[in-house]
Amino acid sequence: MKNILIVIFILFSLISLGQPDYRNIDEKYKTVPVSLTTVENIADYLTKDLNSDTEKVRALYVWITHNLEYDVSQIYGERRYVATEDIINEALVTRKGVCQHYSDLMTAMCNSIGITSYTIIGYVLDGDSGMFDYDHAWNGIIIDSGYYFVDATWSSGFISRGRFVPKFTDEFFMVKPEEFIKTHMPFDPVWQFLDNPVTNREFAGKDFSNTLISGNFNYKDIIEGLPALDVATELEESNKRIISMGVTNDLIREHLDYNMFRLVIAEFNTAVEALNFGISNFNKYLDHKNNNFQDPGVDGLKIRDMLVNAEAGIYYAHNVLYSLDSHDEEISNAIEQTKKLTPKLISDLKKEKEYIERHIKIWRALKSVSVLIL
Protein backbone atom coordinates (compact mmCIF):
# COMPACT_ATOMS: atom_id res chain seq x y z
CA MET A 1 0.00 0.00 0.00
CA LYS A 2 2.87 2.40 0.74
CA ASN A 3 4.32 1.83 -2.73
CA ILE A 4 1.00 2.72 -4.37
CA LEU A 5 0.72 5.91 -2.35
CA ILE A 6 4.25 6.92 -3.31
CA VAL A 7 3.54 6.36 -7.01
CA ILE A 8 0.37 8.43 -6.89
CA PHE A 9 2.17 11.23 -5.05
CA ILE A 10 4.95 11.30 -7.62
CA LEU A 11 2.50 11.42 -10.53
CA PHE A 12 0.55 14.20 -8.89
CA SER A 13 3.72 16.16 -8.24
CA LEU A 14 4.85 15.83 -11.85
CA ILE A 15 1.48 17.01 -13.15
CA SER A 16 1.50 19.98 -10.81
CA LEU A 17 4.98 20.95 -11.90
CA GLY A 18 3.76 21.07 -15.52
CA GLN A 19 1.08 23.67 -14.75
CA PRO A 20 1.77 27.42 -14.36
CA ASP A 21 1.46 28.69 -10.83
CA TYR A 22 -1.17 31.44 -10.79
CA ARG A 23 -1.75 31.51 -7.04
CA ASN A 24 -0.39 35.02 -6.56
CA ILE A 25 -2.50 36.40 -9.42
CA ASP A 26 -5.58 34.49 -8.25
CA GLU A 27 -5.38 36.01 -4.78
CA LYS A 28 -4.42 39.54 -5.81
CA TYR A 29 -6.86 40.24 -8.63
CA LYS A 30 -10.24 39.16 -7.29
CA THR A 31 -11.20 42.78 -6.56
CA VAL A 32 -10.60 46.30 -7.85
CA PRO A 33 -11.31 49.71 -6.25
CA VAL A 34 -15.03 50.56 -6.39
CA SER A 35 -14.17 53.79 -8.21
CA LEU A 36 -13.28 51.76 -11.31
CA THR A 37 -16.41 51.18 -13.36
CA THR A 38 -15.47 50.94 -17.05
CA VAL A 39 -14.01 48.11 -19.11
CA GLU A 40 -10.87 50.12 -19.84
CA ASN A 41 -9.97 51.26 -16.34
CA ILE A 42 -10.75 47.89 -14.72
CA ALA A 43 -8.69 46.00 -17.32
CA ASP A 44 -5.82 48.48 -17.05
CA TYR A 45 -5.78 48.24 -13.24
CA LEU A 46 -5.78 44.44 -13.33
CA THR A 47 -2.96 44.11 -15.84
CA LYS A 48 -0.65 47.12 -15.43
CA ASP A 49 1.85 45.27 -13.20
CA LEU A 50 1.90 42.02 -15.19
CA ASN A 51 4.38 41.15 -17.91
CA SER A 52 3.08 38.31 -20.08
CA ASP A 53 -0.19 38.31 -22.01
CA THR A 54 -1.14 34.99 -20.44
CA GLU A 55 -0.81 36.49 -16.96
CA LYS A 56 -2.93 39.45 -18.05
CA VAL A 57 -5.67 37.19 -19.38
CA ARG A 58 -5.49 35.24 -16.13
CA ALA A 59 -6.06 38.41 -14.08
CA LEU A 60 -9.09 39.34 -16.20
CA TYR A 61 -10.40 35.78 -15.96
CA VAL A 62 -10.05 35.73 -12.18
CA TRP A 63 -11.79 39.08 -11.76
CA ILE A 64 -14.71 38.18 -14.05
CA THR A 65 -15.28 34.76 -12.50
CA HIS A 66 -15.28 36.25 -8.99
CA ASN A 67 -17.39 39.33 -9.72
CA LEU A 68 -20.19 38.14 -11.98
CA GLU A 69 -23.06 36.02 -10.73
CA TYR A 70 -24.79 33.72 -13.18
CA ASP A 71 -28.40 34.86 -13.62
CA VAL A 72 -30.38 31.62 -13.72
CA SER A 73 -33.57 33.52 -14.59
CA GLN A 74 -32.07 34.36 -18.00
CA ILE A 75 -30.94 30.86 -18.90
CA TYR A 76 -33.75 30.37 -21.43
CA GLY A 77 -34.37 34.08 -21.89
CA GLU A 78 -35.23 35.69 -25.20
CA ARG A 79 -33.93 39.12 -24.18
CA ARG A 80 -32.53 41.04 -27.13
CA TYR A 81 -29.88 43.71 -26.97
CA VAL A 82 -29.36 46.51 -29.46
CA ALA A 83 -25.58 46.28 -29.20
CA THR A 84 -22.83 44.32 -27.50
CA GLU A 85 -22.04 47.41 -25.44
CA ASP A 86 -25.46 47.05 -23.77
CA ILE A 87 -24.58 43.52 -22.63
CA ILE A 88 -21.21 44.65 -21.29
CA ASN A 89 -22.68 47.66 -19.45
CA GLU A 90 -25.39 45.48 -17.90
CA ALA A 91 -22.74 43.06 -16.64
CA LEU A 92 -20.68 45.86 -15.09
CA VAL A 93 -23.65 47.59 -13.47
CA THR A 94 -25.62 44.59 -12.17
CA ARG A 95 -22.66 42.19 -11.79
CA LYS A 96 -25.01 39.50 -13.09
CA GLY A 97 -25.57 37.83 -16.42
CA VAL A 98 -25.41 34.68 -18.50
CA CYS A 99 -22.61 33.27 -20.61
CA GLN A 100 -22.90 36.07 -23.18
CA HIS A 101 -22.18 38.64 -20.47
CA TYR A 102 -19.13 36.74 -19.21
CA SER A 103 -17.67 36.23 -22.69
CA ASP A 104 -18.45 39.68 -24.11
CA LEU A 105 -16.91 41.27 -21.03
CA MET A 106 -13.81 39.11 -21.41
CA THR A 107 -13.52 40.03 -25.09
CA ALA A 108 -13.91 43.74 -24.37
CA MET A 109 -11.34 43.71 -21.58
CA CYS A 110 -8.80 41.70 -23.59
CA ASN A 111 -9.20 43.90 -26.64
CA SER A 112 -8.85 47.05 -24.53
CA ILE A 113 -5.32 45.99 -23.51
CA GLY A 114 -4.30 44.81 -26.97
CA ILE A 115 -4.96 41.08 -26.63
CA THR A 116 -7.06 39.44 -29.35
CA SER A 117 -10.21 37.78 -28.03
CA TYR A 118 -13.39 36.62 -29.71
CA THR A 119 -16.77 35.73 -28.27
CA ILE A 120 -17.76 32.32 -29.65
CA ILE A 121 -21.28 30.91 -29.75
CA GLY A 122 -22.09 27.22 -29.82
CA TYR A 123 -23.42 24.36 -27.73
CA VAL A 124 -21.85 22.08 -25.16
CA LEU A 125 -21.71 18.53 -23.85
CA ASP A 126 -22.06 17.72 -20.19
CA GLY A 127 -20.09 14.63 -19.28
CA ASP A 128 -22.97 13.18 -17.29
CA SER A 129 -26.19 14.15 -19.06
CA GLY A 130 -25.20 14.67 -22.69
CA MET A 131 -25.94 17.81 -24.68
CA PHE A 132 -27.38 20.89 -22.99
CA ASP A 133 -30.63 22.15 -24.52
CA TYR A 134 -29.51 25.78 -24.70
CA ASP A 135 -26.66 27.49 -26.49
CA HIS A 136 -23.52 28.76 -24.80
CA ALA A 137 -20.81 31.40 -25.25
CA TRP A 138 -17.09 31.36 -24.46
CA ASN A 139 -13.86 33.01 -25.62
CA GLY A 140 -11.17 32.29 -28.16
CA ILE A 141 -7.86 33.93 -27.24
CA ILE A 142 -4.85 34.43 -29.52
CA ILE A 143 -1.49 34.90 -27.79
CA ASP A 144 1.90 34.69 -29.54
CA SER A 145 0.29 33.02 -32.58
CA GLY A 146 -1.22 30.37 -30.28
CA TYR A 147 -4.97 29.72 -30.24
CA TYR A 148 -6.63 28.94 -26.90
CA PHE A 149 -10.04 28.88 -25.23
CA VAL A 150 -11.40 30.31 -22.00
CA ASP A 151 -14.82 29.65 -20.49
CA ALA A 152 -15.26 32.12 -17.65
CA THR A 153 -18.89 31.07 -17.12
CA TRP A 154 -18.13 27.44 -16.41
CA SER A 155 -15.15 28.52 -14.33
CA SER A 156 -17.24 30.69 -12.02
CA GLY A 157 -19.50 28.04 -10.49
CA PHE A 158 -22.41 25.71 -11.23
CA ILE A 159 -26.20 25.49 -11.03
CA SER A 160 -27.77 23.28 -8.37
CA ARG A 161 -31.52 22.98 -7.83
CA GLY A 162 -32.15 26.10 -9.86
CA ARG A 163 -29.64 28.24 -7.99
CA PHE A 164 -26.16 29.44 -8.93
CA VAL A 165 -23.41 28.19 -6.63
CA PRO A 166 -20.13 30.17 -6.90
CA LYS A 167 -17.13 27.83 -7.13
CA PHE A 168 -14.01 28.90 -8.98
CA THR A 169 -12.11 26.43 -11.16
CA ASP A 170 -9.36 26.95 -13.69
CA GLU A 171 -10.26 23.85 -15.70
CA PHE A 172 -11.40 26.02 -18.60
CA PHE A 173 -8.52 28.48 -18.77
CA MET A 174 -6.31 28.63 -21.87
CA VAL A 175 -7.35 25.19 -23.09
CA LYS A 176 -5.93 23.91 -26.37
CA PRO A 177 -8.37 23.39 -29.28
CA GLU A 178 -8.00 19.60 -29.50
CA GLU A 179 -9.06 19.30 -25.85
CA PHE A 180 -11.71 22.02 -25.74
CA ILE A 181 -13.64 20.50 -28.66
CA LYS A 182 -14.46 17.52 -26.43
CA THR A 183 -16.98 19.64 -24.51
CA HIS A 184 -17.56 22.83 -26.55
CA MET A 185 -18.86 22.86 -30.14
CA PRO A 186 -18.96 26.22 -31.97
CA PHE A 187 -21.78 26.60 -34.48
CA ASP A 188 -19.29 27.93 -37.03
CA PRO A 189 -16.38 25.47 -37.52
CA VAL A 190 -13.91 28.32 -37.98
CA TRP A 191 -14.04 28.84 -34.20
CA GLN A 192 -12.87 25.31 -33.45
CA PHE A 193 -9.35 26.53 -34.27
CA LEU A 194 -8.74 23.16 -35.95
CA ASP A 195 -7.49 22.52 -39.49
CA ASN A 196 -9.62 19.36 -39.62
CA PRO A 197 -12.83 20.42 -37.84
CA VAL A 198 -15.13 18.00 -36.07
CA THR A 199 -18.65 17.64 -37.53
CA ASN A 200 -21.77 17.98 -35.41
CA ARG A 201 -22.51 14.27 -35.80
CA GLU A 202 -19.00 13.37 -34.65
CA PHE A 203 -19.32 15.74 -31.68
CA ALA A 204 -22.60 14.17 -30.60
CA GLY A 205 -21.01 10.73 -30.88
CA LYS A 206 -17.89 11.91 -29.03
CA ASP A 207 -15.73 10.94 -31.98
CA PHE A 208 -12.73 13.26 -31.87
CA SER A 209 -10.39 11.22 -34.05
CA ASN A 210 -10.27 14.07 -36.60
CA THR A 211 -8.23 16.11 -34.14
CA LEU A 212 -5.36 13.65 -34.65
CA ILE A 213 -5.39 14.04 -38.44
CA SER A 214 -4.08 17.09 -40.30
CA GLY A 215 -6.53 18.85 -42.60
CA ASN A 216 -6.63 21.79 -44.99
CA PHE A 217 -9.31 23.95 -43.38
CA ASN A 218 -7.51 27.30 -43.11
CA TYR A 219 -9.33 28.84 -40.16
CA LYS A 220 -6.51 31.34 -39.55
CA ASP A 221 -6.89 32.99 -42.96
CA ILE A 222 -10.67 33.08 -42.59
CA ILE A 223 -10.44 34.79 -39.19
CA GLU A 224 -7.82 37.28 -40.41
CA GLY A 225 -10.11 38.17 -43.34
CA LEU A 226 -13.23 38.82 -41.25
CA PRO A 227 -12.60 42.55 -40.60
CA ALA A 228 -12.67 43.20 -44.36
CA LEU A 229 -16.16 41.69 -44.78
CA ASP A 230 -19.42 43.58 -44.46
CA VAL A 231 -21.92 42.14 -41.99
CA ALA A 232 -24.14 40.54 -44.65
CA THR A 233 -21.25 38.75 -46.38
CA GLU A 234 -19.83 37.57 -43.05
CA LEU A 235 -23.19 36.07 -42.05
CA GLU A 236 -23.71 34.42 -45.44
CA GLU A 237 -20.26 32.82 -45.35
CA SER A 238 -20.76 31.71 -41.74
CA ASN A 239 -24.07 30.03 -42.57
CA LYS A 240 -22.44 28.12 -45.43
CA ARG A 241 -19.76 26.79 -43.07
CA ILE A 242 -22.32 25.88 -40.42
CA ILE A 243 -24.43 23.92 -42.91
CA SER A 244 -21.33 22.12 -44.19
CA MET A 245 -20.83 20.62 -40.70
CA GLY A 246 -24.34 19.12 -40.71
CA VAL A 247 -27.55 20.53 -39.22
CA THR A 248 -28.18 17.80 -36.67
CA ASN A 249 -30.06 19.48 -33.81
CA ASP A 250 -32.49 22.29 -33.02
CA LEU A 251 -29.83 24.56 -31.54
CA ILE A 252 -28.00 24.66 -34.88
CA ARG A 253 -31.27 25.34 -36.72
CA GLU A 254 -32.13 28.14 -34.31
CA HIS A 255 -28.70 29.69 -34.77
CA LEU A 256 -29.03 29.57 -38.55
CA ASP A 257 -32.44 31.25 -38.22
CA TYR A 258 -30.94 33.89 -35.96
CA ASN A 259 -28.16 34.53 -38.48
CA MET A 260 -30.80 34.93 -41.18
CA PHE A 261 -32.64 37.39 -38.94
CA ARG A 262 -29.40 39.37 -38.51
CA LEU A 263 -28.77 39.13 -42.25
CA VAL A 264 -32.17 40.65 -43.02
CA ILE A 265 -31.48 43.48 -40.57
CA ALA A 266 -28.03 44.10 -42.11
CA GLU A 267 -29.47 44.17 -45.65
CA PHE A 268 -32.37 46.37 -44.54
CA ASN A 269 -29.95 48.84 -42.95
CA THR A 270 -27.86 48.86 -46.13
CA ALA A 271 -30.98 49.52 -48.18
CA VAL A 272 -32.00 52.38 -45.90
CA GLU A 273 -28.53 53.92 -46.20
CA ALA A 274 -28.72 53.66 -49.98
CA LEU A 275 -32.22 55.13 -49.98
CA ASN A 276 -31.12 58.07 -47.84
CA PHE A 277 -28.17 58.64 -50.18
CA GLY A 278 -30.51 58.63 -53.18
CA ILE A 279 -33.04 60.94 -51.56
CA SER A 280 -30.28 63.33 -50.47
CA ASN A 281 -29.04 63.65 -54.06
CA PHE A 282 -32.58 63.99 -55.38
CA ASN A 283 -33.24 66.81 -52.91
CA LYS A 284 -30.05 68.59 -54.03
CA TYR A 285 -31.25 68.35 -57.60
CA LEU A 286 -34.68 69.74 -56.68
CA ASP A 287 -33.07 72.65 -54.83
CA HIS A 288 -31.14 73.59 -57.98
CA LYS A 289 -34.25 73.19 -60.10
CA ASN A 290 -36.21 75.47 -57.75
CA ASN A 291 -33.46 78.08 -58.31
CA ASN A 292 -33.95 77.70 -62.07
CA PHE A 293 -30.50 76.09 -62.31
CA GLN A 294 -28.87 79.48 -61.72
CA ASP A 295 -26.53 78.35 -58.93
CA PRO A 296 -22.94 79.40 -59.74
CA GLY A 297 -20.50 76.58 -60.48
CA VAL A 298 -23.22 73.99 -61.09
CA ASP A 299 -23.51 73.11 -64.75
CA GLY A 300 -25.78 70.67 -66.54
CA LEU A 301 -23.43 67.73 -66.13
CA LYS A 302 -23.26 68.20 -62.35
CA ILE A 303 -27.04 68.42 -62.24
CA ARG A 304 -27.28 65.18 -64.20
CA ASP A 305 -24.78 63.50 -61.83
CA MET A 306 -27.07 64.32 -58.93
CA LEU A 307 -29.86 62.44 -60.66
CA VAL A 308 -27.56 59.55 -61.53
CA ASN A 309 -26.57 59.23 -57.85
CA ALA A 310 -30.19 59.56 -56.77
CA GLU A 311 -31.18 56.84 -59.20
CA ALA A 312 -28.39 54.50 -58.06
CA GLY A 313 -29.33 54.78 -54.39
CA ILE A 314 -33.09 54.57 -54.84
CA TYR A 315 -33.05 51.69 -57.34
CA TYR A 316 -30.61 49.70 -55.18
CA ALA A 317 -32.81 50.22 -52.12
CA HIS A 318 -35.92 49.28 -54.11
CA ASN A 319 -34.42 45.99 -55.32
CA VAL A 320 -33.09 45.01 -51.88
CA LEU A 321 -36.28 45.93 -50.04
CA TYR A 322 -38.46 43.89 -52.40
CA SER A 323 -36.20 40.86 -51.86
CA LEU A 324 -36.45 40.93 -48.06
CA ASP A 325 -38.79 38.93 -45.88
CA SER A 326 -38.87 38.46 -42.13
CA HIS A 327 -41.00 36.50 -39.67
CA ASP A 328 -40.29 39.17 -37.08
CA GLU A 329 -43.32 41.49 -36.98
CA GLU A 330 -41.35 44.64 -36.14
CA ILE A 331 -38.79 44.12 -38.90
CA SER A 332 -41.46 43.08 -41.39
CA ASN A 333 -43.46 46.25 -40.71
CA ALA A 334 -40.34 48.41 -41.12
CA ILE A 335 -39.59 46.76 -44.47
CA GLU A 336 -43.15 47.24 -45.72
CA GLN A 337 -43.29 50.89 -44.68
CA THR A 338 -39.97 51.67 -46.38
CA LYS A 339 -40.96 49.79 -49.55
CA LYS A 340 -43.91 52.16 -49.98
CA LEU A 341 -41.52 55.07 -50.57
CA THR A 342 -39.65 53.75 -53.58
CA PRO A 343 -42.29 53.46 -56.38
CA LYS A 344 -43.20 57.16 -56.18
CA LEU A 345 -39.53 58.15 -56.00
CA ILE A 346 -38.72 56.05 -59.06
CA SER A 347 -41.61 57.60 -60.98
CA ASP A 348 -40.48 61.12 -60.03
CA LEU A 349 -36.89 60.28 -60.97
CA LYS A 350 -37.93 59.11 -64.41
CA LYS A 351 -39.78 62.36 -65.08
CA GLU A 352 -36.89 64.50 -63.87
CA LYS A 353 -34.36 62.56 -65.95
CA GLU A 354 -36.42 63.18 -69.09
CA TYR A 355 -36.77 66.82 -68.09
CA ILE A 356 -33.06 67.36 -67.49
CA GLU A 357 -32.04 65.56 -70.72
CA ARG A 358 -34.22 67.98 -72.71
CA HIS A 359 -32.66 70.95 -70.94
CA ILE A 360 -29.10 69.69 -71.46
CA LYS A 361 -29.82 69.52 -75.19
CA ILE A 362 -31.12 73.08 -75.08
CA TRP A 363 -28.06 74.28 -73.10
CA ARG A 364 -25.72 72.63 -75.59
CA ALA A 365 -27.59 74.19 -78.52
CA LEU A 366 -27.46 77.63 -76.93
CA LYS A 367 -23.77 77.19 -76.21
CA SER A 368 -23.13 76.31 -79.87
CA VAL A 369 -25.08 79.36 -81.04
CA SER A 370 -23.12 81.65 -78.73
CA VAL A 371 -19.86 80.28 -80.13
CA LEU A 372 -21.02 80.95 -83.72
CA ILE A 373 -22.00 84.52 -82.84
CA LEU A 374 -18.57 85.12 -81.32
Q: What CATH number has the domain bearing residue 111?
A: 3.10.620.30
Asked if the structure places residue 13 within a domain, the reply is no
pLDDT band at 15 (very low <50, low <70, confident <90, very high): very low
Looking at every residue in the chain, the average pLDDT score rounds to: 89
Asked if the structure places residue 228 within a domain, the reply is no
Same domain as 141, residue 55: yes
Greatest Cα pair distance, the chain, in angstroms, is: 120
List, in sequence order, the alpha helices (H) in the chain: 2-17, 23-28, 39-47, 53-67, 84-94, 99-112, 152-156, 177-180, 200-204, 219-225, 231-244, 250-290, 300-321, 329-339, 342-373
pLDDT band at 128 (very low <50, low <70, confident <90, very high): low
Asked if the structure places residue 192 within a domain, the reply is no
- The per-residue pLDDT for range 189-247, each reduced to its tens digit, is 999 999 999 999 999 999 999 899 999 999 999 999 999 999 999 999 999 999 999 99
Asked if the structure places residue 209 within a domain, the reply is no
E strand or H helix at 134, and its extent?
Answer: none
Same domain as 363, residue 274: yes
Asked if the structure places residue 124 within a domain, the reply is yes
- The per-residue pLDDT for range 75-84, each reduced to its tens digit, is 876 677 778 9
Q: What are phi and psi of 246, to 5 degrees?
A: 95, 125
| pTM of the complete model | 0.82
Same domain as 73, residue 164: yes
- Annotate 246-266 with b (16+ C-beta within 10 A) or e (fewer): eeebebbeebbeebbbebbbb
Q: What are phi and psi of 325, to 5 degrees?
A: -150, 140
Same domain as 176, residue 60: yes
For residues 81 and 304, give the distance between their C-alpha atoms in angstroms, rounded to a whole number: 43
Same domain as 179, residue 75: yes
Same domain as 168, residue 266: no
Same domain as 117, residue 31: yes
Q: How many domains does the chain have?
A: 2
Asked if the structure places residue 191 within a domain, the reply is no
For residues 283 and 316, give the distance between their C-alpha atoms in angstroms, rounded to a whole number: 17
Task: Give the 3-state secondary structure of residue 360.
Answer: helix
- The per-residue pLDDT for range 99-110, each reduced to its tens digit, is 999 999 999 999
Give the end of a domain, one of 167, 186, 205. 186
Give the end of a domain, one of 168, 186, 204. 186
Asked if the structure places residue 69 within a domain, the reply is yes
Can you give the residue range of the structural domain that contains 160? 23-186
Asked if the structure places residue 230 within a domain, the reply is no
Q: Which residues, other chains included, contact 32 with Cβ-Cβ below 8 Å and sequence gap of 6+? A: 42, 45, 46, 63
Which CATH number belongs to the domain containing residue 369 in this structure?
A: 1.20.58
Same domain as 143, residue 47: yes
Q: Residue range 251-280: average pLDDT?
A: 95
Task: Give the 3-state secondary structure of residue 146.
Answer: strand
* CA nearest neighbour of 270 among 324, 238, 317, 312: 317
* CA nearest neighbour of 275 among 232, 310, 302: 310
Give the end of a domain, one of 139, 156, 186. 186
The whole-number pLDDT of residue 129 equals 59
